[in-house]
Structure 1
Amino acid sequence: MAVLVCSPLWLGCATVLAADSDTVISWQEMQQVRTEGKSVWQLEIENDSLLLNRDDRYYTSGIHLQQTSYLRSDLEVSEYGWRFGQDLYTPTDIKLPPAQIPAIDHPYTGWLYAGMFHQKTAATGRSWRVGLDLGCIGHCAGGEWTQNHLHRLIQQPLPQGWSTQYRSEFGAILSGEYSPGRLLPFSGTDLTPRIKARFGNVITDASAQLEFRTGRLNALPYQPASYGFARIAASAIGYNATIEGGYFNREIPKVHAKHSGGEIEAGYLWQSDRYVLSASIIRRANEIKEVSNAVGAQNFVRLQFSCMM
């Protein structure tokens, strides 16, 4: 029997633990997965400059490293893992000095974090996942250092306004997601609904998603596959510190986050017995209340590389 934990602040609900032995998180199971299962390393890169337009604006860069241990049976896959990541956000024109940055623009923001997660996926596509990320937002996230070194490497203009970012604040995000399983309208295609929620002082939101796949599909994660995919998501946002500053800092926000949003993604995934390559383009809706939708929407590329040990 599943237990739902609901934020008292708003509608975000996350499926967490259960009394059912199929879904409960246990130390014994984690040790079994670690000792008997296989290991996967994944590097994910998200960047708007990968569109080859030399553009840096809003969500401009994400670098995420993840290690997962998984144990697979004929019916399901159980996973335990950790991750480390850094996300960077900038105004529309990073070449402007602080005094010339428009009052209505995305603030410079960095979010540096590490976390752990657990996920179970059945052959029917039914899955659930819980995670906890701890980190820092603001100067302590090292956004200026990362972007300066990256731009020197790729010979792009250096950002001039990182001194204007919000004050540093410790951050924590509890996340959960659930899918009831796949719909199989035709051979070689499927459709998977999913709900997600995050709760914390960096971001609090909830979303409903629908993913379509077509090609040589896998029933379980880490099985060979080759397919194209498309995903659409609609979200409700309670708080977004990358736009409004840390929840506990009580700084006056430069701009405010919209309370609704969404994104669409289209891409391709290839997976062998050992390696996984995935590439996609994402269009994200405007996230800033004071900015027009025509200006605030953005595009970026997501690349994923995985190796099974």
Structure 2
Amino acid sequence: MRIKLISLFVSLALTYTSVAQSHKNEIGIQSDNDSYLAQGSDRYYTDGIFVYFRHALKADGTKLKNKVLGFEAGQKIFNPQGGNIPGPQYIDRPFAGYLYAGATLNLLYANESNLKLGAQVGVIGPGSGAEGTQNTVHRWFNFYHPTGWEYQIHDGAVINLSAEYNKLLTRGDGIDLSFTGYGNLGMGFSGAGAGLMVRAGNFNQLFNSVSTQSTASNIDSKDLLHPHEFFAYYKPVLNYVAYDATIQGSLSSNKSSAPLQITSNRQPIMLSNEVGVAYTASHWVLSFAAIFHTKDTKEQVRVHQWGSATVLYRF
């Protein structure tokens, strides 16, 4: 169902070819799933669904080129090496769900650096509804019935803060290189990461680009490099994981309570590689990425990967 919906949005978006203009607002959806890469897998970070609304605030237009306030809500679902395990000894990454709502403030500067600050509140565990979501989707598509959720991470509240920083390093004809970094701190996720992003094609400055979630803006199209973005990118990031509640259990849960929860030992150093393509039309923003991660836990028997599709409408 999600694939059909995304295909419909793509078909509609490609009919818009008018010259780009500023749009102060955008609303859209992002869907993550390992099935998008046609690997036949259903493991680890197996599914995610997110909705977004972003609004461009007034910026001074000199040093601060763009300022975007965002709101989002989402759900993530995690499985072990399969969603239908024969016994608890096969749980190499815990069953877990994460349901949240959050807000972001994205400050984008004329020198093509940006600082994006965020906060999330949510719940990890049965209260996230992850088991019900997975069972429903599998029933709709006549997939197998998942088993093993009785061992999932217990309920726990999450309050988390985040910061992301990007900075243009160099730009040539049709290609550029940027630094990217982030940090997380809170009851659900703590850690940091740093890496690079290479873009090739028709891209705009980092203060009004898909790359920095800043396509909502008050910027006139004449100030941009291209009326439409259409580029490919590669983004390797080295991550340090200090704490992950979907692996280790929530800080606020009672770990001694029944039923049994099975946790794992986090892998503190993880490498992620993201390869994708992005396109903007007059009102539409489309992107698709393939993400490849090394192991999240010391017990994992495989690395994992998934696809991520995003469709936004600007107005």
TM-score band w.r.t. shorter chain: 0.7 to 0.9
Which of 279, 284, 287 is the equivalent residue of 2:293?
284
Structure 2 match to 1:301 = 307
CA–CA distance in structure 2, aligned partners of residues 104 and 290 of structure 1: 8
Matched, 1:226 2:230: yes
Matched, 1:243 2:229: no
Structure 1 residues 79 and 117: CA distance shift in structure 2, 3 A: same
CA–CA distance in structure 2, aligned partners of residues 178 and 230 of structure 1: 17
Q: Which range is displaced more, 123-132 or 140-149?
A: 123-132
Contact 1:275 1:305 in 2 (8 A): yes
1:187 Cα deviation from its structure 2 partner: 1.1
Alignment deviations for residues 65-98 of structure 1 (CA, whole Å, 9 cap, x no partner):
110001477651110011001000011122235x
Structure 2 match to 1:216 = 202
Alignment of 1:1-309 (within 5 A): 38-71=24-57, 76-96=65-85, 100-102=87-89, 104-179=91-166, 181-219=167-205, 220-221=208-209, 222=215, 224-249=228-253, 251=255, 254-291=263-300, 295-309=301-315
- Taking every aligned residue pair, what percent have the same amino acid on both sides? 26
Alignment deviations for residues 40-79 of structure 1 (CA, whole Å, 9 cap, x no partner):
0121111101122332111101111110001477651110
Counterpart of 2:35, as a letter, is S
1:258 Cα deviation from its structure 2 partner: 1.1
Q: Which segments of 5 or more consecutive residues in structure 2 lack a partner in the other structure?
A: 1-21, 210-214, 216-226, 257-261
CA–CA distance in structure 2, aligned partners of residues 37 and 47 of structure 1: 29
CA–CA distance in structure 1, aligned partners of residues 23 and 280 of structure 2: 19
Contact 1:288 1:296 in 2 (8 A): no
CA–CA distance in structure 1, aligned partners of residues 196 and 28 of structure 2: 23
Counterpart of 2:302, as a letter, is G
Counterpart of 1:243, as a letter, is I
Provide TM-score, normalisation by structure 1. 0.82
Tell me the C-alpha RMSD between the 2 structures. Answer: 1.9
Alignment deviations for residues 8-44 of structure 1 (CA, whole Å, 9 cap, x no partner):
xxxxxxxxxxxxxxxxxxxxxxxxxxxx972101211
Contact 1:103 1:254 in 2 (8 A): no
Contact 1:86 1:111 in 2 (8 A): yes
CA–CA distance in structure 2, aligned partners of residues 154 and 53 of structure 1: 17
Greater relative contact order (CA < 8 Å, ≥ 6 in sequence): 2
Provide TM-score, normalisation by structure 2. 0.80
User: Secondary structure of 1:151's match?
Assistant: helix
Structure 1 residues 244 and 203: CA distance shift in structure 2, 3 A: same
Contact 2:85 2:91 in 1 (8 A): no
1:122 Cα deviation from its structure 2 partner: 2.4
1:188 Cα deviation from its structure 2 partner: 1.2
